[in-house]
Every structure is written in structure tokens, then in C-alpha cells.
Amino acid sequence: MAVGGFIKLPGGTVVVALGLPHPACPELTVRVVVHALNRQRALTRLSNLGFRGARLSGNAEPPNPDEVSAVLHHPDGLVWREYRARGTDPWHPISALNRVAHHP
């Protein structure tokens, strides 16, 4: 089960953040943040990108303000970085996910 959480924004949309195994490199965990109309649509987007079985159970690790800002300012509304990244590490567009060539 993925560790993550969500917040509901004033306009009614949600930002969901989950720690998930990288789809092509399962030993690498990534933090994925997605902006969507609702939680189910956010999870469907992740599933369509190869994160099969992405589920949100509870709200143990909701997105922090940096994550919310990063995803809201990205045109795709979907960003990621390594799970244990420092707060100063950059967020990446989801299109760069499969180009990760290193392991932790």
C-alpha cells in the first residue's frame, strides 16, 4: 500500500501525493504529486502511467506546501522526485520518469 495523502483546494480540486515504486525500477521509490478534479481521477491518472494498484488509504503524508506549489505550477499537473529527495531538489515532469538511469 502506498503512503501518501491529499488536500482539497478551495476551488474543489485535490492534490494527491503518494510514495510509489518506480514503474520501471521497483527498488526506487518516488514521490508523485498529482492535481486532479477528485481523488479517483488522480489515482486513475497514476494507474494509466504504469503505477498499477496505486491506492490512497488514509491521509498519513498529505502534500506539503512545496509539493502543492510545484504541481499547480506545472502544466501537466503531475510531478515527481525521488522519495528521499531534499527539499531543495527539483521536481521533474512525469515525462522524465522513465529516463531515470540511476538507483539509490
Q: Which three cell numbers stand for residue 19?
A: 510514495
Per residue in 4-54, pLDDT (tens digit) is 999 999 999 999 999 998 888 888 889 999 999 999 999 999 988 888 778
Residue 2: what pLDDT?
67
Query: What phi, psi does 56 have (nearest 5°)?
Result: -110, 110
Cα–Cα distance for residue pair 102/104, rounded to 1 Å: 7
In this structure, are residues 36 and 89 in contact, taking their beta carbons and an 8 Å threshold?
A: no
